[in-house]
Amino acid sequence: MDKESKGQKQKPLIGITMGDINGIGPEVIIKALENGKITQHLTPIIYGSAKVLSFYRKQLNRDNFNFSPINDLSKPYHRKVNVINCWQEMVDITPGQDNAIGGKYAFKSLEAATKDLAEGKINALVTAPINKLNIQSEDFKFAGHTEYLAEKAGSKESLMFMVSDSMRVGVLTGHIPLQEVAAAITKESIIKKIKLMAKSLKQDFGINKPKIAVLGLNPHAGEDGLLGKEEIDIIRPAIEECKSKGQIVMGPYPSDGFFGSGEHRKFDAVLAMYHDQGLIPFKSLTFSTGVNFTAGLPFVRTSPDHGTAYAIAGKDQADEGSMRTAIFAALDIANCRSENKED
């Protein structure tokens, strides 16, 4: 134990990946952690490069942002922002540019953080945005963070779960082409996701009897079969089976009016059938305060609900609200999970 933390209760270690170094990841990390008060609640561990952080600190004129490089997690500084250097070489940083360098070093950061997360050395992980294309390599052949972390965790099932103080939305089918969505919707997959969502609401959010709404796939939820049969043949039977097992599940609801009418406020979470069906209303209603949480993993991972935003990278225009919320959400979920472990 280091001298400055001796005699103190060790705060949770929250890992933070740097994401694409040419995107807004480093900027929102610096802004979110600039106020030293955050270290009263947790100990931030940034996986990336002190040189990259120094570059953006100067670029953004954030002289008040201080950090301490450490070699490993044996002696973190519990009153400071810690940085583990995942590489030593000089890197050409080009804010706003989509290139292979951004992808290469985003993966180095993610790989190191995931290793410590899987080994239980950190209590939770917050991932800054990556570019899903330029990160592709022999070591990373995944549609995104969710799929990568699920494989590293050995989890067959996971759930992309967008959460905020006012709403929670999960998606049945994640990062797949829209033309493949209908074929991917099965009664079994819906039941699995509802079960996973209900478990997460209990152990990660402390909701004992969660109420879940399920959206339809077709316009007007199929209009009794006129506009599609999936609601009748697949979605409704899945809901009824979940109800028969004591779960509070309702639907399928037409997705167009569900959020606009405020119907979502009556439920603890909503299961959408595909990515944009859930994320468009979520981001429209909670942008800058929403968080992407991967449910169903043996460890806790959150992420801000925005991308690399190359157009504003390095210009001191990025809003750090979602990153800050993601950090505190990771802390809250990790604490809640430890208190609500299921047998």
Residue partners of 258: CB distance under 8 A and separation at least 6: 213, 215, 264, 270, 281
Residue 209 · residue 248 · CB < 8 Å? yes
Q: Give the single-character DSSP code of 193.
A: H
Structural domains present in the chain:
1-155+297-343 (3.40.718.10), 165-288 (3.40.718.10)
Q: What is the pLDDT of residues 284-316, one digit of tens each?
A: 988 778 899 999 999 999 999 899 999 999 999
Residue 86 · residue 110 · CB < 8 Å? no
When pLDDT is cut at 50, 70 and 90, the band that residue 2 belongs to is: very low
Would you state the pLDDT for residue 8?
47
Residue 83 · residue 67 · CB < 8 Å? yes
Nearest residue to 124 via CA among 156, 149, 142, 99: 149
Would you state the pLDDT for residue 287?
74
Is the pLDDT at 206 greater than 80? The verdict is yes
Residue 307 · residue 23 · CB < 8 Å? yes
Residue in this structure with the two tokens 């697949």, named with its chain if needed: 234
Helices (H), the chain: 25-33, 50-59, 100-118, 145-153, 181-184, 187-203, 230, 236-244, 255-258, 275-286, 321-339
Residue in this structure with the two tokens 């899987």, named with its chain if needed: 118
Residue partners of 108: CB distance under 8 A and separation at least 6: 86, 87
The whole-chain average pLDDT of the chain stands at 92
Q: What is the pLDDT of residues 128-172, one digit of tens each?
A: 999 999 999 999 999 889 899 999 999 888 999 999 988 999 999
Would you state the pLDDT for residue 232?
95
Question: pTM of the prediction?
Answer: 0.90
Q: Distance between CA 233 and CA 225 in Å, rounded?
A: 9
Q: What is the pLDDT of residues 172-193, one digit of tens each?
A: 998 899 999 999 999 999 999 9
When pLDDT is cut at 50, 70 and 90, the band that residue 7 belongs to is: very low
CA 110 remoteness from chain centre: 13
Q: What is the mean pLDDT of the segment spanning 110-123? A: 96
When pLDDT is cut at 50, 70 and 90, the band that residue 9 belongs to is: low
Q: Give the single-character DSSP code of 40.
A: G
Q: What is the pLDDT of residues 274-291, one digit of tens each?
A: 999 999 999 998 877 889
When pLDDT is cut at 50, 70 and 90, the band that residue 220 belongs to is: very high
Q: Report percent pLDDT > 90 for the chain.
A: 81
Of 27-31, 32-36, 242-246, 249-253, which range is least confident? 32-36
